[in-house]
């Protein structure tokens, strides 16, 4: 488990999942009921009431992290799966397009006969 490449991979996956959830939050096709999950998670995190009090250093923060991760998963599960897949493809396509944008110039042309 001390493989640094695995840790980097998990961190990248976490960042991608949070980015996906962020995009879905602003998508009007996602129901208001699904959007209540992140609101509830945020309310729990800023609430002074915790399952494990924060005075227990480390463990007190782990319950907050667990609630955030479970909340993100629940939010993604409540979103339409086709919409989640579409956003995943858009995120993957955008990163590929960004890498090609430095090498490609797009444009239009028309032929004029004189």
In tens digits, the chain (114 residues) has pLDDT values of 567 777 778 888 888 999 999 999 999 999 999 999 999 999 988 888 877 776 777 777 888 888 899 999 999 999 999 999 999 999 988 655 554 445 567 788 888 887
Is the pTM for the entire model greater than 0.75?
no
- Residue 108 included in any domain: no
- Residue 50 included in any domain: yes
- Residue 27 included in any domain: yes
SS3 content of the chain, % helix, strand, coil (to 5): 70, 0, 30
CB–CB of 40/81 below 8 Å?
no
Total of domains in the chain: 1
- Residue 76 included in any domain: yes
d(CA 72, CA 12): 15
- Residue 36 included in any domain: yes
- Residue 107 included in any domain: no
d(CA 61, CA 88): 29
- Residue 85 included in any domain: yes
- Residue 90 included in any domain: yes
Q: What domain range includes position 39?
A: 4-100
């Amino acid at each position: 488990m001390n493989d640094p490449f695995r840790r980097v991979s998990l961190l990248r996956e976490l960042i991608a999942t949070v980015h996906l959830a962020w995009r879905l939050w602003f998508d009007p096709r996602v129901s208001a009921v699904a959007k209540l999950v992140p609101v509830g998670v945020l309310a729990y995190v800023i609430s002074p009431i915790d399952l494990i009090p924060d005075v227990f250093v480390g463990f007190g923060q782990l319950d907050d992290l667990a609630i955030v991760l479970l909340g993100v998963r629940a939010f993604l599960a409540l979103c339409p799966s086709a919409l989640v897949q579409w956003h995943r493809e858009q995120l993957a396509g955008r990163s590929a397009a960004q890498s090609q944008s430095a090498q490609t110039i797009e444009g239009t042309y028309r032929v004029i006969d004189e």
